[in-house]
Structure 1
Amino acid sequence: MPPIHPTQRVAVLADSQNLYHTAHSLYSRNVDYTALLDSAVQDRELVRAIAYVIRADSPNEEDFFDALRDIGFEAKIKDIKTFGDGSKKADWDVGISLDAVTLATHVDALVLCSGDGDFSRLCSHLRHEGVRVEVFGFGSSTAEELREAADSFVDMSENEDRYLL
């Protein structure tokens, strides 16, 4: 596992839907994105920070998108899709994966903020390409295969006061 050092170039990719739903279901609180970004970067050179969000026409969501930008995240926004049967779908799995693979040639470390086990294969691929992969998530809802595929895992549940508002 490559160690952390101050000259590393790092990218931070935040699966905001996953973080939001987990923080709300476990704690009824919101994620502190300032603390998340600070912890993820750890005094290294930040190349890019992207938060992947869904526009669901809920109150204050534009304020949230603006706040992400103020913190230092680029907000990538996707509209929620409603199907004929009333079901709704919106996820960024493919977009996050494509961005991660594209950024891999420009960074030494990639921090993925998600508990979604679908990203375990992505982590394995990035590590094979020589990129250090760090995962931030809530322990009880982070897939075991994702933890195992990463170089390191930070359990945000172990420091609720830092990572939650």
Structure 2
Amino acid sequence: MTDIHADQRVAVLADAQNLYHSAHSRYSRNVDYASLLSEAVQNRRLTRAIAYVIRADSPNEESFFEALVDIGFETKIKDIKTFGDGSKKADWDVGMSLDAVTLADHVDTVVLCTGDGDFSRLCSHLRHEGVRIEVMGFASSTADELKESADTFVDLGDREDTFLL
């Protein structure tokens, strides 16, 4: 990557739901969040690391949330909503976007760990505000508009041994 230096203040925002589904559908493996955070920061000054997670009452999810905290992430947890027709919904798009906009005045770089194309407008807005945007996701499941709206894109699938458990 270019245009990075040790004095940069970095915020890392990880869309755990998106990463989980991408890693499982393509590789049947889990994301290595310690490596993800380390590679996202790259010896720069970490300001905030937030993992956005969904509580779905599945086995081991509480230990996963605790592991994220031990790694260095602050966790923001949302309960999954089940509707009358049985459908379920939970996402952090608005919450992540609001946090990114709020943090923009306090950081030089925002690293979005997601493949969700809904964040492309956020990237364009933050870049317009002078914030460097780096996206880390699996290329096979990352929206083209998200890749194109970032300053850099890191394909987690290119380095499975680093980013997957």
Flag whether TM exceeds 0.5 (same fold). Answer: yes
Q: Give 1:115 shift.
A: 0.3
1:103 counterpart residue number: 103
> SS at 1:105's partner residue?
helix
Q: Give 1:56 shift.
A: 0.2
2:41 counterpart residue number: 41
Distance 2:153 2:139 in 1: 9
2:12 counterpart letter in structure 1: V
> SS at 2:49's partner residue?
strand
Distance 1:140 1:81 in 2: 28
2:84 counterpart residue number: 84
2:63 counterpart residue number: 63
1:54 counterpart letter in structure 2: I
1:35 counterpart letter in structure 2: S
1:8 counterpart residue number: 8
2:19 counterpart residue number: 19
Q: Give 1:14 shift.
A: 0.1
Distance 1:132 1:123 in 2: 9
Equivalent residue runs for 1:125-164 within 5 Å: 125-164=125-164
Distance 1:121 1:130 in 2: 14
1:45 counterpart letter in structure 2: R
Deviations 1:23-63 (A, max 9, x none): 00000000000000000000000000000000000000000
> SS at 1:76's partner residue?
strand
Segments of 5+ residues of structure 1 without an aligned counterpart are none
1:72 counterpart letter in structure 2: G
Q: How large is the RMSD of aligned CA atoms in angstroms?
A: 1.0
**Number of matched pairs:** 165
Q: TM-score, normalised by structure 2?
A: 0.99
Q: Give 1:19 shift.
A: 0.0
Deviations 1:62-98 (A, max 9, x none): 0000000000000100000000000000000000000
State the identity %.
Answer: 78
Distance 1:142 1:86 in 2: 28
> SS at 1:115's partner residue?
coil
Q: TM-score, normalised by structure 1?
A: 0.99
2:126 counterpart letter in structure 1: L
Distance 1:135 1:79 in 2: 26
1:90 counterpart letter in structure 2: A
Distance 2:87 2:4 in 1: 43
